Amino acid sequence: MPLLRNPDKSKLSKRKNPTSINYYRDIGVLPEALLNYLGRMGWSMPDEREVFTLQDMMDNFDIQRVSLGGPIFDVEKLNWLNGQWIKGLTPSQLLDRLLTWKSDRNTLEDIAAAIQPRINLLSEAVNWAGFYFNHMPQITAEMFESKKLTQEQVRQSLQFAIWRLEGQFTWNNDTVSQTLMDLANQMGIKLRDFMPAFFIAIAGSTSSTPVMQSMVTLGPDLTFARLRHALEIVGGPSKKEVKNWEKLNESLKLPKNDATSEV
């Protein structure tokens, strides 16, 4: 089977794209829809219909219909297809899916604990907790403009954080918090100036529940997706910048004397 590719024809990569099954589950893609979509990658039904079940695929599979061209993994197309599956449910079935989708009590308790100090009415929970359930915050480049940081510092802080968090084997409040605090310190940026970009990237606003804990609650898949989305909005690094930034990121981890000699 051919490799999956992005809409720009580049190879699908876990460093740039959400490739974990858990990510698609967490944003609300139905298992049947994802299976349906993957079934269309390099193959098609004889009648060219786009919505079909696994049984439909098994009944109609023909190796001659397999295409060796690089299929495009288009998230917008997946979302559309998922919408077709959702629209095919009865209201009762949809309610069951919604309740199953966010049924992990530990996660819900973490969210409740985060919003509890901030609400006086239960109805206010929607505003404070909404970003935990959204696919991606609605953000713009202007939201990342800072009086304290240059645009390059904002871009680097997001990219360096992604690289460093990707290297963590455990995902908890200690590892996430320490990683971000160390990075801010090594970049010579006060934490209160460093963190707003992460609030916006994760929650879509600087007014939200504590963002480091929010990243833990969301989990690595959703966190990385939001950080990468934010970096794309403010301007991801060029290939040349990536090489230079990788060296800079590594040099920041060294003791100051060693870092100076490296540069």
Mean pLDDT over each residue of the chain, to the nearest integer:
90
Using DSSP's 3-state secondary structure scheme, residue 11 falls into strand
Question: Does residue 247 register a pLDDT over 50?
Answer: yes
Alpha helices per DSSP H over 62-190? 75-87, 91-101, 105-115, 125-133, 151-166, 173-186
Whether residue 73 contacts residue 4, with contact meaning beta carbons closer than 8 Å, is answered with: yes
Angle formed by the axes of helices 211-218 and 105-115, nearest 10°: 170
Residue with tokens 């809409």: 7
Question: What mean pLDDT is predicted for residues 196-210?
Answer: 97
**Count of domains in the chain?**
2
Q: What is the pLDDT of residues 169-190, one digit of tens each?
A: 999 999 999 999 999 999 999 9
pTM: 0.84
Active site residue 14: yes
Q: What is the pLDDT of residues 118-136, one digit of tens each?
A: 999 999 999 999 999 998 9
Q: Which of 6-20, 86-100, 167-181 has the lowest mean pLDDT?
A: 6-20
b/e map 179-193, b = 16+ CB within 10 Å: bbeebbebbebeeee
Which of 14, 102, 247, 253 is flagged as catalytic? Answer: 14
Contacts of 234 (CB under 8 A, 6+ apart): 141, 144, 151, 154, 155, 158
Domain final residue, candidates 101, 117, 132:
101
Report the CATH number that the domain containing residue 90 is assigned in CATH: 1.10.1160.10
Domain assignment present for 128: no
- The token pair that represents 252 in the structure block: 């920041």
Q: What was the pLDDT predicted at 261? A: 39
Domain assignment present for 221: yes
- The token pair that represents 28 in the structure block: 């609300």
Domain final residue, candidates 53, 71, 101:
101
Q: Which domain does 51 fall in, by range? A: 21-101
